[in-house]
Amino acid sequence: MKLTLKKDMYRAFGLYIHSEFNLPELPLIMEGSQEIDVVIAKADLTTKWVEMNEENSYFHISETLCMFEVPGVAIYLIEGGHRITVSPMEDAKENQVRLYLLGSCMGAILMQRRILPLHGSAIAINGKAYAIVGDSGAGKSTLAASFINKGYQLLSDDVIPVTISSDSNPLVTPAYPQQKLWKESLNQFGMNTNNYEPLVDREDKFSVPVADTQFSTENLPLAGIFELVKTEEVIIKIHSIQKMERFHTLYRHTYRNFYIEEMGLMHWHFHICAQIVNKIKFYQLSRPVSRFTSNELLEQILTTANL
């Protein structure tokens, strides 16, 4: 892979990121006196990967580092919550490399920095953040897009950074202004797929930029979590998730939750989850797969949360 590398400064996930790779999805900022939080650099990791990957798996994770290989794309090394080193394969495409940089790598960085990464979308509503979590394909981004179309602002799509404030309340930090939407969802919203770049190897899912006015740049208190699940039934159902179930919900929807134990973070994860479950409301929302229900789900969330 031949790249023209230059160092640019970006702002995302509440971090100042200095990168040798072009990251067009992230807001580019002028360099000033701000302290750099994360450095992204290019280097040859081939030998190091052979030495560390003794079990011949795709991941090597310890308390101090996370290293993984995406065949045909790159080898990635994430260290100490402040450095990502990338070793691209010869024929890898830039958007392939970025896909894992902004996903799995940032998930590891956040955990190393003791920031909880939830897998979902977060929307700003009346000065508060509401998270929509769920398994892949549950419809999280589509539901978030419905909120954006109704005039609400996006905080994050895919990885939601959650911290605990000085007064012991959960906060959501904005990630970056982009969504990933399926072709079917774009069609439902009347959006032409020709205007968007397909994700690598997934020509039916697209990268969709979010306008500045549709993206919140403020840290907002997390007020509620809605777990979105698919159902074969024809009606939408919602129920409150009770206290002990909430721990399972948070663990299940922590981004790359298999990192937690290998990084030695089980105690930390339980502690931060305990601070969250006692502060906010949790709901499970069933989405019928037989029809497009995104706007109905939106109304259900607003009604349930008294918004």
Dihedral (CA of 136, 141, 146, 147) sign: positive
Distance CA 305, CA 280 (A): 11
pLDDT tens, position by position, 252-292 = 999 999 999 999 999 999 999 999 999 999 999 999 999 99
C-alpha closest to that of 176 among 204, 149, 156: 156
Q: How confident is the model at residue 29 (pLDDT cuts 50, 70, 90)?
A: confident
When mean pLDDT is compared across 28-32, 252-256, 296-300, the lowest value belongs to 28-32
Q: Are 114 and 263 in contact, with CB atoms under 8 Å apart?
A: no
Sequence spans of domains, the chain: 8-112, 116-304
255 class by beta-carbon count within 10 Å (0-12 exposed, 13-18 middle, 19+ buried): buried
CA distances from 218 to 107, 171, 183, 282 (A): 20, 10, 30, 23
Q: How confident is the model at residue 171 (pLDDT cuts 50, 70, 90)?
A: very high
pLDDT tens, position by position, 183-200 = 999 999 999 888 888 887
* Second-level CATH architecture of 116-304: 3-Layer(aba) Sandwich (3.40)
CA distances from 77 to 37, 113, 129, 236 (A): 16, 15, 32, 43
Distance CA 299, CA 13 (A): 28
For the chain, report the end-to-end CA distance as a whole number of angstroms. 49
pLDDT at 30 over 90: no
pLDDT tens, position by position, 86-112 = 999 998 989 899 999 999 999 999 999
When mean pLDDT is compared across 57-61, 67-71, 159-163, the lowest value belongs to 57-61
Distance CA 71, CA 87 (A): 11
Q: Are 248 and 277 in contact, with CB atoms under 8 Å apart?
A: no
Q: Are 211 and 189 in contact, with CB atoms under 8 Å apart?
A: no
Q: Which residues contact 18 (CB under 8 A, 6 or more apart)?
A: 7, 8, 9, 10, 36, 38, 39, 40
**Residue with structure tokens 């020509």?**
203
In the DSSP assignment, the letter for residue 198 is E
Q: 232: which 2 tokens?
A: 């074969």
Q: What is the pTM of this model?
A: 0.93
Percent of the residues in the chain that have a pLDDT greater than 90, as a whole number = 79
Q: Are 273 and 162 in contact, with CB atoms under 8 Å apart?
A: no
Q: 297: which 2 tokens?
A: 């789900």
Distance CA 240, CA 226 (A): 9
Determine phi and psi for 147, rounding to 5 degrees: -65, -45
pLDDT computed for residue 80 by the predictor: 96
pLDDT computed for residue 220 by the predictor: 97
pLDDT at 24 over 80: yes
